[in-house]
Amino acid sequence: MKPIIHTDNHLCVACNKCARACPIPLANVVTQDSGPKPRVSIDYSRCVGCGACLKACDHGARAYRDDLQRFLQDLRDGKAISIIVASANALANFPDLRRVFAWLKSLGARDVYDSSLGADIYAWANVRHIERFRPFSVIASYCPAVTRYCQTQNPALLPRLAPIHGPMTCQAIYLKERLRLTDAIAAFTPCVAATQSASESRFVEYNVTFRKLWEYVVSHNVPLPEEEADFDPLLGLNDPQLPPISAGLRHNLDFFVTAGLRVDQASGPGVYALLEEYAAASPDRLPPVFSVLNCERGCALGTGANPQNGYFQAQSVISQHQRSFAEEITRDYYVSLFKRFDETVDLELFTRDFSDESPARESVSEARIEEAFRLLGKSPLDQRSFNCGFCGSSSCREMAEKIALKINVPANCVTQLRQAAENATLKSESYIELIHSVSEYLLTTVGEDFNESVEHALMALCYAMDGVSASLWKNVYDFEEKPRCHRVVTFPGMIINPHFNTVTLDDPPGWLETLVEGNNITRLKSNMTRDEQRKFLGRNVNSLVLAPIVSQGDFWGFVSLLKQEEVPFSERDVSVISICSNLLASYMINLDLQGNFLDEESLSL
């Protein structure tokens, strides 16, 4: 699917409401970089464009694109474009609809056609398909979100889909193939997912949603003309003008197939679960026709509708519009109309194929799921059925599967966040204890025990940070007055790389310069060069932090800390390491003043 719906990460607060609302379990991908919060993106191979996330997001982080801007620019460039729009839906979204038509025509739009003919062709094509092939059950849906769901999520449903284009496309085909219209065609709809249909169609070139059109008129203060422009007449069926309303599929099934035929109808967020139930149901339980739409309140109030119009306002307009032409919608009228369709157009023109577009799904082993549960801190079995849904998954197991597939992260689990908060409290207490311990080790040192005291301080730092090694490095300027840091003390006594005890401006490149400027260095093994790994890391060491020590504005040296886990150091971790480093530096400077520490000979390690 083209990227119609998108996420603005600057506005996203990682609340997961989009993922919870989405009917497609793997369509939302949660990752985490070095920032404090996860990022939520969209897997467009799985997104069906249902728009549930647009409705769910309170922060404006989810938005969509249609073809309005391209449509307006092409009009200004002189391209010949005609418009198709469902009059009832349009009136429900734009009380000043005919003034909008007049404005569009002033920009160069050619004709504006009511799509009721397309709706009648759609009904005729479905009736004739059912009469000809007699399927035991058919899914009658022109909704692009529903058809894409079948294509990407459950291709087993594809043989059941009625192979008929939607009403807008049926009308565009009639205009192009029967009336030989050469204009490009723009469909004005309340549907976000129709933008995908337009991108795949050779008949409809633009999908312009009512919402984007309304937003443009308001944000640009468009002066709508006082004069009005009505729908243009659509000739070609030996009829001066068809009524701008269609009886719809259900009434025509009653007219032509079987009166009282069972037609099950479903709409709204639950339709995708019903489609799965339909796929698994016994054939003798299925309805002859299953009519399915994505939007709970109907197409007029779809995902791309004008947000200013409420349900009852829209229904009032639609009902009034339908009553105006109700007397013309009779069986005799449709018998005559369908006969003319039979005589003038070919059913095959309006049929389509649905291809299997389901993305490959990687299988997940139980071992990987167990590892994901471990990362979630849910090793005990009784912690695996919390199933709160905060993360956007229906169960803790589904969340573990997503983590194993690398489309979600442990930090997105509310129970882990709660545990992390508790751990943070304990960690804060341990950090305070660490700083007190380091201070005590250094303040109680007497005589020549400074090396042991510094080692004890590094040991406390190592244990508090779950590190495997910590070292103190001191800067000694060389004869060219360039900084050069030597390793002074290490805990434990075994040095990770005994051949690497000096850091210069050139080795490793850029590191010492960063430290001299007073900036911390944090690295994960996966982000380090092989040479950097060889010098600083040892076996089973996967992350490090270097905290500079600055005394009275001068670079004194730095402390390095290595960890086994490949996890980023938090800002709090680095701050505590810096505090301890400066305590060590203060102690060393005091010893230097006393003349008891570090001559040139002692730096020759």
Please tell me the distance from the alpha carbon of residue 434 to that of residue 457, in angstroms, as a whole number: 9
Please tell me the distance from the alpha carbon of residue 63 to that of residue 71, in angstroms, as a whole number: 19
pLDDT of residue 276: 96
**Is the Cβ–Cβ distance between 171 and 84 less than 8 Å?**
yes
pLDDT of residue 603: 42
Average pLDDT over residues 161-171: 94
Average pLDDT over residues 161-168: 94
Phi, psi of 570 (to 5 degrees): -75, 165
Comparing CA positions, the residue from 508, 604, 597, 520 lying closest to residue 558 is 520
pLDDT of residue 533: 86
pLDDT of residue 242: 52
Of 242 and 361, the structure prediction assigns the larger pLDDT to: 361
Q: Check whether 225 has a pLDDT greater than 60.
A: yes
What region, left, alpha or beta, does residue 360 occupy, with left being phi > 0 and alpha being psi -120 to 50 degrees?
A: beta
Average pLDDT over residues 310-339: 78
Comparing CA positions, the residue from 114, 111, 110 lying closest to residue 80 is 110
Average pLDDT over residues 221-235: 87
Please tell me the distance from the alpha carbon of residue 196 to that of residue 135, in angstroms, as a whole number: 28
Burial 544-564 (b: 16+ CB within 10 A, else e): bbbbbbbeeeebbbbbbbbbe
Q: Check whether 435 has a pLDDT greater than 70.
A: no
Q: Kindly state the helix (H) or strand (E) to which residue 488 belongs, with its residue range.
A: strand 485-491
Average pLDDT over residues 409-426: 69
Percentage, residues of the chain above pLDDT 90: 42
Q: What is the CA radius of gyration of the chain?
A: 35
pLDDT of residue 569: 83
Phi, psi of 485 (to 5 degrees): -100, 135
Comparing CA positions, the residue from 532, 584, 605, 583 lying closest to residue 562 is 532
pLDDT of residue 432: 59
Q: Check whether 294 has a pLDDT greater than 80.
A: yes
pLDDT of residue 23: 94
Q: Which residues have CB under 8 Å from 587's CB, separation 6+?
A: 442, 445, 450, 453, 454
- Two structure tokens written together for 104: 């569009």
Cα end-to-end distance, the chain, whole Å: 62
Q: How is the beta sheet containing 206-209 ordered, strand by strand?
A: 112-114, 81-85, 184-189, 206-209
pLDDT of residue 238: 40
Average pLDDT over residues 169-187: 93
pLDDT of residue 148: 95
Comparing CA positions, the residue from 124, 122, 207, 112 lying closest to residue 173 is 122
pLDDT digits (tens, 9 = 90+) for 8-40: 988 998 889 999 999 999 999 998 876 667 888
Q: Check whether 443 has a pLDDT greater than 90.
A: no
Cis peptide upstream of residue 95 (ω within 30 degrees of 0): no
Q: CA–CA distance from 581 to each of 292, 518, 527 (Å)?
A: 66, 13, 25
pLDDT of residue 421: 59
Q: Check whether 147 has a pLDDT greater than 60.
A: yes
pLDDT digits (tens, 9 = 90+) for 234-280: 754 444 445 555 657 777 887 887 778 899 999 998 999 999 999 99
Average pLDDT over residues 207-211: 95
**Is the Cβ–Cβ distance between 319 and 107 less than 8 Å?**
no
**Is the Cβ–Cβ distance between 452 and 472 less than 8 Å?**
no
pLDDT of residue 399: 93
**Burial tier of 248 (Cβ tally within 10 Å: 0-12, 13-18, 19+):** middle
pLDDT of residue 600: 42
pLDDT band at 383 (very low <50, low <70, confident <90, very high): confident
Beta bridge mates, 549: 557
Comparing CA positions, the residue from 481, 484, 517, 488 lying closest to residue 585 is 488
- Two structure tokens written together for 134: 């007699």
Question: What is the pLDDT of the chain when averaged over all its residues?
Answer: 85
- Residue with tokens 């998954």, as numbered in its chain: 393
Average pLDDT over residues 277-287: 94
pLDDT band at 80 (very low <50, low <70, confident <90, very high): very high
Q: Check whether 456 has a pLDDT greater than 90.
A: no
According to the per-residue pLDDT averaged within each range, which of 395-404, 448-457, 527-536 is highest?
395-404
pLDDT band at 379 (very low <50, low <70, confident <90, very high): confident
pLDDT of residue 349: 94
pLDDT digits (tens, 9 = 90+) for 479-516: 778 888 998 888 886 666 777 888 888 888 889 999 99
pLDDT of residue 420: 61
pLDDT of residue 93: 85
- Two structure tokens written together for 451: 């090396």
- Two structure tokens written together for 155: 């291709």
Beta bridge mates, 486: 474, 502
